């Protein structure tokens, strides 16, 4: 049974994951190599907890869990039933973490990666007990989005998948077990198909970035939260899909490299909210306001989708 969880990496994803797991009654120890990331995580933990309150996420009868921060990786993983690796999307950085914890974790400890899409089979080549390693792909913001993908690599034991799936369920979240270890799994294959086309349309001047967002959010985005893609095909009619896709599929972006517009921006350190500029520009005040407004709206939508309002 999973009771103690170590989170390695406290950037965009780590603090919200810590808050959500603790709310589920688990004992979380949170570690990052960068002291500034630990301080930032400490300061935003309370915000995530406030959002969980407004979502009505309660603790189990056994009581709320805890989050403890540490700057010592050995301390973080000591006694952990599960280690969730949450460091940047780079195999060599992730492999360094697996090597660092290999001799520190117990014989029963499971290791999960929150990778956005590196096949688990590739990651488990860097750990001595690959049967205990699994993909556990959260969606951002992790304290609000309930769906988590669970992915087995070639060497993952079925029991490891079952334990993580049951853990997710036991704290009121929604596990989706992906049946094949394909790059990007399912959520990001679908998201990146959409993002490739969206970036291409903006880059070619077909539409302005603000209008692209309006079109997608108030068109397919709003609809797809209620009617998933497979159900949408039936609602539109497969005959219509056949007619449109017969001419449209061939015209969609099929570029297999990163779009120049994205490269230009990342080369200039324009990463989005984390650097103050990306597709749009943000002042620190705007970032704070946006994050609050987005959390409020996501909470309200989720309550309605769950039939609670
Ligand atoms: N940003 C997103 O929307 C999502 C990201 N992911 C995935 O989650 C993982 C983490 O992503 P983010 O939180 O966005 O990354 P991030 O870049 O915001 O944070 C990564 C953190 O890892 C720390 N770190 C780097 N090397 C470390 C080490 N050796 N030991 C401990 N900490 C270390 C960094 O100091 C940083 O705080 C990635 O694999 C990413 O693809 C998954 C779902 C959504
Ligand atoms: C752009 C982008 N890339 C990866 C992920 C998750 O792995 C997300 C997300 O969860 O929102 C994303 O927006």
Give 57-65 contacts, CB < 8 A, sequence gap 24+.
57/20, 57/23, 57/172, 58/23, 59/23, 59/24, 59/25, 60/24, 60/25, 60/171, 62/25, 63/25, 64/22, 64/23, 64/25, 65/21, 65/22, 65/23, 65/24, 65/25, 65/26, 65/27, 65/28
293 annotated as a binding-site residue: no
What local confidence, expressed as pLDDT, does residue 200 receive?
A: 98
Ligand nearest to the CA of 194: 2
Q: Give the closest residue to 301 by CA, choosing from 193, 182, 144.
A: 144
What local confidence, expressed as pLDDT, does residue 246 receive?
A: 98
- Domain 4-178 is in which class? alpha beta
Q: Cα(260) to centroid of ligand 2, in Å?
A: 20
> Could you tell me the residue ranges of all domains in the chain?
4-178, 187-305
Predicted TM-score (pTM) of the model is 0.95
Q: Which segments of the chain have a pLDDT < 50?
A: none
What local confidence, expressed as pLDDT, does residue 308 receive?
A: 82
CATH code of the domain made up of 187-305: 1.10.1040.10
Distance of CA 260 to the CA centre of its chain: 25
ipTM metric: 0.98
Our CA angle for 273, 276, 280, nearest 5°, is 75
Task: Kindly state the helix (H) or strand (E) to which residue 5 belongs, with its residue range.
Answer: strand 4-8
Q: Cα(116) to centroid of ligand 2, in Å?
A: 7
In this chain, the answer to whether the domains covering 4-178 and 187-305 adopt an identical fold is: no
Establish whether residue 140 lines the binding site of ligand 1, counting it when its CB lies within 6 angstroms of any ligand atom: yes
What local confidence, expressed as pLDDT, does residue 309 receive?
A: 76
Residue from 8, 10, 11, 274 to probe ligand 1 pocket by mutation (most atoms less than 8 Å from CB): 11
169-189, pLDDT tens digit by residue? 999 999 999 999 999 999 999
């Amino acid at each position: 049974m999973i009771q103690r969880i170590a989170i390695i990496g406290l950037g965009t994803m780590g603090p919200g994951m810590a808050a959500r797991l603790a709310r589920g009654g688990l004992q979380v120890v949170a570690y990052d190599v960068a002291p500034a990331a630990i301080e930032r995580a400490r300061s935003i933990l309370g915000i995530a907890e406030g959002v969980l309150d407004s979502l009505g996420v309660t603790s189990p009868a056994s009581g709320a869990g805890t989050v403890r921060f540490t700057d010592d990786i050995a301390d973080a993983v000591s006694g952990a039933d599960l280690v969730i690796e949450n460091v940047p999307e780079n195999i060599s950085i992730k492999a360094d973490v697996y090597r660092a914890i290999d001799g520190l974790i117990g014989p029963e400890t499971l290791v999960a990666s929150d990778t956005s899409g590196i096949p688990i089979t590739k990651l488990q080549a860097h750990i001595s007990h690959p049967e205990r390693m699994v993909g556990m792909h959260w969606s951002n913001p992790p304290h609000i989005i309930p769906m988590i993908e669970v992915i087995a690599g070639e060497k993952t034991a079925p029991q490891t998948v079952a334990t993580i799936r049951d853990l997710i369920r036991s704290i009121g979240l929604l596990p989706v077990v992906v049946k094949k270890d394909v790059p990007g799994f399912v959520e990001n294959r679908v998201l990146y198909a959409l993002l490739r086309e969206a970036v291409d349309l903006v880059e070619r001047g077909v539409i302005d970035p603000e209008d692209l967002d309006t079109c997608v959010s108030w068109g397919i985005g709003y609809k797809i939260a209620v009617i998933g893609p497979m159900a949408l095909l039936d609602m539109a009619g497969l005959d219509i899909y056949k007619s449109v896709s017969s001419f449209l599929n061939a015209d969609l972006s099929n570029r297999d490299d990163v779009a120049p517009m994205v490269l230009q921006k990342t080369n200039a350190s324009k990463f989005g909210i984390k650097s103050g500029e990306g597709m749009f520009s943000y002042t620190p005040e705007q970032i704070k306001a946006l994050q609050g407004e987005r959390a409020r709206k996501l909470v309200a939508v989720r309550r309605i989708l769950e039939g609670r309002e």
